[in-house]
Amino acid sequence: MQYFSLILLLLTVLSGLVWLFDVVFLRKRRMARAGVGGLPAREPWTVDYSRSLFPVLAAVLLFRSFIAEPFRIPSGSMMPTLKVGDFILVNKFAYGLRLPVFHTRILSTGEPQRGDVVVFRYPLKPSEDYIKRVIGLPGDTIRIRGEQIYINGKLVPTQLVGPYQGGYGRESRLLEANGAMVYREHLGAHTNEIAEMPQIAMGGTYQSPTCHFENTHDGTCTVPAHSYFVMGDNRDNSEDSRFWGFVPQRNLVGKAFMIWFSWRGPHGIDFKRIGTMIH
């Protein structure tokens, strides 16, 4: 996605400059020569293509940069909310307008709320885009004990829905094989479903001046200013803030809000998921 944005920006600028150069410097000369020789003034193919492509490229660039951008879900870390093969739309206006490629925020339009599903540039490798759910806001103290999350000392309420069932692909089979249970979680104004299979919880250690996690089930953390603590909905199979730390505000790409297409591989298109709003 990062390279596509750069290529799109370069093509837009190049086609615009070629068209502008022709309008300012070349067109009058071409028309004058045509008038003398009595032949029609034909545009060079570079000018013809640039004039045709520039409005289209500019419209796509503006739409992707400031309104909405499509993304594909490559892993199962957000199941059951999002599945591998889902194609989603991300609201680029939700957290501020940013310059394409450079990511500099030029207008603040809002900040993430607890429970938002956000796309962001992975802090350890900004060329990669990740998608997770916001758990902790700046200044929050996050405590995880077992499968329970406490925010500022208050337990995040959950209700058992039942065993994970259905789905397709390797990630769904892994959830079913390990007896995953689905819970309904309440994060602020958001209500969403999560999957838990603690018997195969990911291990690892993350430490910083404000955070210490021995593994996914044991840790305490204070979220710094202008940063966010995020987790996947597939709680025991998600590489998230418990492993690599916080998401800086400058890394935010936007808020995921809708599934516009869903591909099940050999099983074809999942029409039931198309148009589903993301909560």
Provide the whole-model pTM. Answer: 0.86
- Looking at residue 215, its pLDDT comes to 66
- Looking at residue 66, its pLDDT comes to 87
- Looking at residue 35, its pLDDT comes to 63
- Looking at residue 160, its pLDDT comes to 96
**What single string gives the DSSP state of each residue in the chain?**
-HHHHHHHHHHHHHHHHHHHHIIIIIHHHHHHHHHHHT---PPPHHHHHHHHHHHHHHHHHHHHHHTEEEEE--SSTTTTTS-TTEEEEEESSTT-EE-TTT--EEE------TT-EEEEE-TT-TTSEEEEEEEE-TT-EEEEETTEEEETTEEPPEEEEEE-----HHHHHHHHHTT-EEEEEEETTEEEEEEE-GGGPPEEEEEETTEEEEETTEEEEEPPTTEEEEE-SBTTS--SHHHH--EEGGGEEEEEEEEEEEB-GGG-B-GGGTTPBP-
Residues that are catalytic: 77, 132
Print pLDDT tens along the chain (279 aa). 567 888 988 999 999 999 898 888 888 777 777 665 555 567 888 888 998 999 999 999 888 888 999 999 888 999 999 999 999 999 999 998 888 888 888 888 899 999 999 999 999 999 899 999 999 999 999 999 988 999 999 999 999 999 998 777 888 888 998 899 999 999 988 999 999 987 766 666 677 666 777 666 788 999 999 999 999 999 998 999 998 999 999 999 999 999 999 998 777 899 999 999 999
- Looking at residue 205, its pLDDT comes to 67
- Looking at residue 203, its pLDDT comes to 63
